[in-house]
Amino acid sequence: MQLTDAPDGLDIYEDHRAKVIASVVAPAILAIIAVGLRLCARTVSKATLDWDDYLIVLALVLNTGNCVINVLIAKLGGMGLHVWNPEVNLEMMFKLVFVMEFVYSSTIPAIKMSVLMFYRRIFPVHRFSYALYACSFLALGWFIGVMVVNFVQCFPYAYFWKQYGDSDAKGKCIAVEDYFMGNGIAEAITDFIILVTPFYQVWKLQMPTSQKIAVSAIFGLGFFTCVAGALRCYAVYLMNKNEDITWNFGRGFIWSSIEPSCGIISACLPTLRPLLRHFFPTAFGNSSHQKSNEFYPLSDRANFGPGEGLAPQNDIRGGSSDSSAPLGSKQDPNHAIMVRQEFRFSTKLDEHEHA
């Protein structure tokens, strides 16, 4: 890669690496805290870990690795410096970028699959599962496709970074900048599809409109991930505007770290209500109401088949696994949807305290 002379008046020693690193590390730390609180909430509600919990832990591990790689890109490659700065090492930077592509491309599907498994646990409705299968196929299919492209984007693949440090290197690459942009747009679209998937199911429930709005607001927390994905696409667009790639990469890679961290946080927030009830019991209603009128049955025959509906869980809908019989069992002969009034949570701890 041949660089032109630096523009007149540009301070080539300007350094934004500290800003880049702080912007990458801060949301990653918040993601670690969110997952920790999620696991605490599951412990408090005496619930066993499910697939959505395991997948979000996997996503957290990958996201932490993504964060570390971004820090190394700044420290060793020079991301956040102007490309004319003598500290810049383009070959090292693109070696790390190559690794980061695989880590980032694995983090996003893990988050999406965790969210989809969470939907499946919250809405164990047979017909709704088809929509979840379609979203899962879309997320996993795109993941496989992106992984293949990551391997074959340059031939030989080492040319991806050697073109910046070895004048004798020979090879050919796809338009990597366009690939980054296309991938970002596709990820943002699938984020939005997964975000809106549960809303139709929520609004079919026989509950007051205010409760539907409350439930929709909880699921709508993923909107922040969509915003982060859109901002990442815009940052990638700006990244390709001129040859000062190390300086411009800082913008794109900041949002490439914020987006998955934001996705992990959004996936964890709906599961934290049992933890809040444990530490702030008086803020979520009095015990007498909880004990005397904890659930009320709503017939779902107009909308669902026998045995289908909104099953009790330990996080969003309240009720521990041994305090409510499965829908469609002998203890629930009317095949009713069990919905907590005022959308409150119940834990085994509450039941023992107020028994």
Say yes or no: 123 and 237 in one domain: yes
* Token pair for 89: 């090492």
Please give the pLDDT value at position 351.
45
Alpha helices in the chain (DSSP H): 17-44, 51-72, 90-122, 126-152, 159-162, 176-204, 209-219, 223-239, 245-268, 273-279, 287-292, 348-354
Q: Between 234 and 268, where is the model more confident?
A: 268
Q: How far apart are the first and last CA of the chain?
A: 73
- Domain boundary at 240, 271, 302, which? 271
Residue 197 lies in a domain: yes
Q: Is the pLDDT of residue 343 over 50?
A: no
> Percentage of the chain surpassing pLDDT 70?
73
The kind and range of the H/E element at 297 are: strand 295-299
Q: Domain tally for the chain? A: 2
Say yes or no: 155 and 215 in one domain: yes
Residue 306 lies in a domain: yes
- CATH code for the domain of 68: 1.20.1070
Say yes or no: 246 and 296 in one domain: no
- Domain boundary at 225, 247, 271, which? 271
Say yes or no: 179 and 228 in one domain: yes
Q: Between 197 and 286, where is the model more confident?
A: 197
* Average pLDDT of the residues of the chain: 75
Domain extent for 346: 287-354
Please give the pLDDT value at position 55.
95
Which residues pair with residue 299 across a beta bridge? 336
Say yes or no: 87 and 137 in one domain: yes
Say yes or no: 131 and 267 in one domain: yes
Please give the pLDDT value at position 76.
92
Task: For residues 83-100, give the mean pLDDT.
Answer: 91
Residue 282 lies in a domain: no
Cβ(318)–Cβ(15) below 8 Å: no
